[in-house]
Amino acid sequence: MQPILRTNEVTKVYEARGGSVRAVDGVSMSLNRGEFIAIVGPSGSGKTTLLALLAGLLRPTAGSVLIGDQDLAGLSEGERARFRREKIGFTFQANNLVPYLTVRENVELAARLKGRLGPVERRRAVELLDRLGLGERLNALPSQLSGGQQQRVAIARALAHDPLVVLADEPTASLDTERGHQVVQVFRDLVKEQNGAGVIVTHDLRLLRFTDAAIRMVDGRVTDTLRGGENLNVVCEIYESMCGVARRQGQQLLAGAS
């Protein structure tokens, strides 16, 4: 089976005053249809930059990103915008929904951006919202919904135009545990139903429960790739290594104070 998303040693280097920063350093990964993975790591690890590269929002300094056989590097600015609105679904940490559009209009947004909002697209929007338990709130405004409900509307919008790949940046950011996990579960179910692929960037390791696989990044490099049952063990390893780092830092602080 052909992977639906592939990166080949993709690298992003920024020139800063102190020297160059390798935000993403030679990441190779591949994703098949129906797979739902997470990118985890501490802040500054480059996971959001990797997401931007996957979406074609950033041009790699080296390496390539292929989605459904299309090498994103070969596209112009305008073509990449077109690619995003046709083949990619997105949810963001903030500003997900347009505040002056109703729930249903927000989900229809993807179709509007393509310039094609017909009865088929309208029905699909309603179906998705129904599926997500928001069938009663079609004409509500985002400000009238809870955080969890808003996130679900965002998911509906991300999936409404049948994208190849769905990318989510911190989908549980402002949600409590239960609601957060609900949202990710629904996300996964829908992605698998549509036979697309999903990538969520998160710092919440508990979400690994719902994913098929996970890659852990530190300082732009992939340190671990986890599949299936390995997850729980590696989560413990991750926490242990984090503890180790914390212990060392604490010792240094104490040494410096005396």
Partner 1 sequence: MHLAWSEIKRNRTRFLLIAFIIALITTLVLFIVALAEGLGSGNIEGLTKLDANLLVFQDKSKLSLAASALPWERLRQVKRVPGVLAAGAVGFSAASIPAGETLSGVALDVAFLGVQPGEPGSPPIVQGRPLRTEREKAAVIDRHTQLRTGLQPGDTLIIRTVQDAKDEYYSLPVVGITDARQFSLRPSVFVPLRTWDAMRPGSKANLESREIVPSFLAVQTDSSISQTEMIRRLTSEVSDVEVVDLKTAWEATPGYKEQQSTLSLQQGFTWLIGLLVVGVFFQIITLQKVGQVGVLKAMGAPAALIVRSALTQIAIVTTSGVLLGALGSFGLALGIPPTVPLSWPLDRLAITLISLLVLGPIGGLISLRILLKVEPLTALGLAK
Q: How far is the CB of 57 from partner 1 (least distance, A)?
A: 5
Binding residues for partner 1, rule CB under 8 A, total 32
Near partner 1 in 153-172, by CB under 8 A: 169
Chain centroid to CA 59: 18
* Cα–Cα distance measured from residue 120 to residue 58, given in angstroms and rounded to the nearest whole number: 33
98 binds partner 1 (CB under 8 A): yes
Q: What is the closest distance, in whole angstroms, from the C-beta atom of residue 9 to partner 1 in the complex? A: 21
In the complex with partner 1, the residue whose CB is nearer, 199 or 226, is: 199
Between 81 and 234, name the residue whose CB sits nearer to partner 1: 81
> Quick one: which segment of 33-41, 97-105, 125-133, 178-186 binds partner 1 (CB under 8 A)?
97-105
Cβ atoms 68, 30 nearer than 8 A: no
Closest distance between partner 1 and the C-beta of residue 2, in Å?
Answer: 23
Residues 30-89 that bind partner 1 (CB under 8 A): 48-49, 51-52, 55, 57-58, 78, 81-86, 88
Rounded to a whole number of angstroms, the minimum distance from the CB of residue 257 to partner 1 is: 35
Binding mask 102-141 for partner 1 (x = CB under 8 A): ---x---xx-xx---------------------------x
Chain residues 214-253 in contact with partner 1, contact rule CB under 8 A: none
Q: Which residues here bind partner 1, judged by CB under 8 A?
A: 48-49, 51-52, 55, 57-58, 78, 81-86, 88, 90, 92-96, 98-101, 105, 109-110, 112-113, 141, 169
